[in-house]
Chains A and B, each alone.
Chain A
Amino acid sequence: MTVFQSGAKIDVSGVSVSFPLYHGGSRSLKKTMFAAASGRLGQDSHQRVVVEALRDLNFTLGSGDRLGLVGNNGAGKTTLLRMLAGIYEPVLGRVRVQGSVSALLDPNLGMNLELSGRENIMLRGMISGLPRSALPRLEEDVQAFAELGDFLDLPVRIYSSGMVIRLGFALATAIRPQVLLMDEWFLAGDSSFMEKARSRLEDMVRGAEILVLSSHAAPVVATWCTRVIWMDQGRIRDDGPPEEVLERYLGYPVQIPPPAPAILPAA
Chain B
Amino acid sequence: MSVALDMRVEPVLELVSNIAAADRKRMALRDIEDGLRLWRLGCTLGWLDIKLRYRGSLLGPLWLTLSTAVMVGGLGILYSTLFKTSLRDYLPFLALSMVLWNTLSGTVADACVCFTSAEGLIRSARLPFTLYAIRMVVRNVLVLGHNIVVIIAVYALLNVWPGWYSVAAIPALALWLVNALAAGMFLGAFCARFRDIPPIVASVVQIAFFMSPVLWKPDAIHGTYRVLMDFNPFFTLLEVVRGPMLGYMPPLEVWVSAIFFSGLLCALAWMMFMRVRGRLAFWV
Contacts and interface: CB of A to CB of B under 8 A. Distances in A.
Do chains A and B stick together as partners? yes
A74 B197 CA distance: 32
B124 A96 contact: no
A250 interface: no
Interface in A82-129: 82-83, 85-103, 105-106, 108-110, 112, 114-115, 119, 122-123, 126-129
B9 interface: yes
Contacts of B44: 122-123, 126
A173 interface: yes
Contact of B121 (A27, A110, A115, A131): A110
B217 interface: no
B186 to A, nearest CB: 14
A87 B125 contact: yes
A20 B238 CA distance: 40
A28 interface: yes
Contacts of A112: 48, 52, 120
Contact of B7 (A27, A92, A102, A137): A102
B279 to A, nearest CB: 8
A13 B13 CA distance: 14
A144 interface: yes
Interface string B177-213: 0000000000000000111110010000000000000
Interface in B115-131: 120-127
B11 interface: yes
Interface residues of A, number: 64
Interface string B20-48: 00000000000000000000110011001
B17 A87 contact: no
B5 A20 contact: no
Interface in B90-146: 120-127
Q: Which of B1, B12, B15, B194 has the most CB of A within 10 A?
A: B15
A28 B195 contact: yes
B52 A114 contact: yes
A88 B40 CA distance: 25
A178 B10 contact: yes
A27 B13 CA distance: 31
A175 interface: yes
B226 interface: no
Contacts of B278: 89
Given A5-B10, A94-B16, A100-B10, A176 B4 contact: yes
A35 B67 CA distance: 44
Interface of A: 5, 19-20, 22, 27-30, 32, 82-83, 85-103, 105-106, 108-110, 112, 114-115, 119, 122-123, 126-131, 134, 137-138, 140-141, 144-145, 173-178, 199-200, 203, 207
Given A91-B17, A138-B5, A174-B2, 15 more contacts: A30-B196, A86-B15, A90-B15, A100-B7, A101-B126, A105-B124, A106-B124, A110-B120, A110-B124, A112-B52, A122-B44, A130-B7, A130-B8, A141-B3, A144-B2
